[in-house]
Amino acid sequence: MIAKRYEPFWKTTPLEKMSPVEWESICDGCGKCCLQKLQDDETEEVFYTNLSCHQLNIGSCQCKVYETRQDKVSTCITLTPDQVDEFHWLPDTCSYRVLYETKDLPNWHPLVVGSDKEMLRQGLTVRHYAVNENTVDEEEWETHVIKWVHGMPEPYDII
Ligand code: SF4
Ligand code: SF4
């Protein structure tokens, strides 16, 4: 008898059909979406900075107010399955975007590895470079703009 090959849920279930628990587990916890962004008024292009929302615990990359985040931070966006085709503003390593675009998760993802150790080993979370937004004047934010290169931040001059 040939054993049936087990396929993990993210390979068989489209994002929009996942249960709430499955949906939440796709988030790899990188913290990148909690970095502040600037948007060009004319082109609407989005630029990431290395400045984190003041509610992000940078060391753990966890939101300090997750259950009430949208009451505490009006600009906080909750990702939902009905927006999957709008995920282009997320970093290109965001697991929701990756899964939507490539139909599979990367080999460093906690669901694949069983823990976040590979993400940490590769420096794929913001903990090594995020700076609390409250420590930088808003006039200076443009100097904190970054671009992603293979998932890592590099300074980016938009002026
Ligand atoms: S960028 Fe994507 S994977 Fe990373 S914390 Fe945000 S939602 Fe989760
Ligand atoms: S409130 Fe929490 S989830 Fe929302 S952007 Fe800030 S740290 Fe991230």
User: If the chain, 159 residues long, is cut into consecutive pieces of 10 residues, what is the mean pLDDT of each piece?
Assistant: 78 95 97 96 93 97 96 94 90 95 95 96 94 97 94 85
CA 51 to CA 29: how far, in whole Å? Answer: 16
Phi, psi of 41 (to 5 degrees): -60, -35
Most ligand 1 atoms within 8 A of CB, residue of 18, 26, 27 to mutate? 27
Tell me the best of 48, 57, 76 to mutate to test the pocket of ligand 2, counting ligand atoms within 8 Å of each CB and taking the most: 76
Residue list, ligand 1 pocket, CB within 6 Å: 27-33, 79, 90-91, 94-96
Cα gap 91→124, rounded to integer Å: 11
Cα(118) to centroid(ligand 1), Å: 16
Q: What is the pLDDT of residue 157?
A: 83
Residue ranges around ligand 2 (CB below 6 Å): 34, 53, 55-56, 63, 65, 69, 72-73, 76
Closest listed residue to residue 34, CA positions, set 48, 47, 52, 49:
52
Instruction: Give the pairing type, strands 46-52 and 131-132.
Output: parallel
Distance of alpha carbon 33 from alpha carbon 48, whole angstroms: 9
Q: From the CA of 76, how far away is ligand 2's center (Å)?
A: 6
Question: Which ligand lies nearest to the CA atom of residue 56 in the structure?
Answer: 2
The C-alpha atoms of residue 90 and residue 67 are separated, in whole angstroms, by 21
Separation between Cα atoms, residue 4 and residue 13, nearest integer Å: 18
User: What is the predicted pLDDT for the residue at 19?
Assistant: 97
- Closest residue by CA, ligand 2 atom 1: 69
How many A from CA of 40 to the centre of ligand 1?
A: 22
For residues 126 and 31, the answer to whether their CB atoms sit within 8 Å is yes
* pLDDT at position 6: 81
CA of 55 to the centre of ligand 2 (A): 6
Cβ neighbour number for residue 61 with a 10 Å cutoff: 21
